[in-house]
Structure 1
């Protein structure tokens, strides 16, 4: 099995997509410009997730859908990823993330959608939820996930 260096990995991905892209810019955006030609096989989990984000965003999609993007990351990497997500949103991308870590959702999201048994239980602005539940937001969200009453803001 061949292990690609970070730039070659992204360039190969772009070639498969039939796209010309600016690999160095994409890598710099996610904080991987300083890893040289280190093989991807030697990357930490956080570095691999950054490379995946570079691959996912190099073509500037309108919507970025992330499933549990912070799992397994240390606190510094979580903070850095949060900053990255906000930068994508500031550039006009709609960033949607799925997470079971409610505290992280509260710190990251502007708007929350709660699903319960495959159905919409709530859709609200995070600020409105915080204002309505200043002392029990986590309990409120868990209640919604367990079939409690919904709110739409």
Structure 2
């Protein structure tokens, strides 16, 4: 458990470094000394919070002391990406998408709900690089906003 507490502290530091864009990452596994690896190529293990290169995260998961079952590589990568901070460029794309929405009750619900905005951030990181996908993102946000309105 001491190792996990240590890794959680390193994770909090690494999130701050990744958000600010400056500083040094504390990683659990480092590539060879002559190989340089960018900070965005590392990801946290969702079970022990140690930082490993994303390409070999699945290998660590097979030996990780804090996991019970080995999941698929795709699911492991998804769980790891959720622990990373949101990118700042996704925020600007989301802001642009939300500003182009019609000003009605649904858009006010979308703008005021933090969960819908987090969903929009994920859509923007996944599809926001393509201008043609902005309509899709806007449509999905409005659908979730209408769902929330009906639930209320």
TM-score range, shorter chain: under 0.3
Higher strand share: 1
Normalized per residue, the structure richer in helix is 2
TM-score by length of structure 2 reads 0.25
Query: What is the TM-score with the length of structure 1 in the denominator?
Result: 0.25
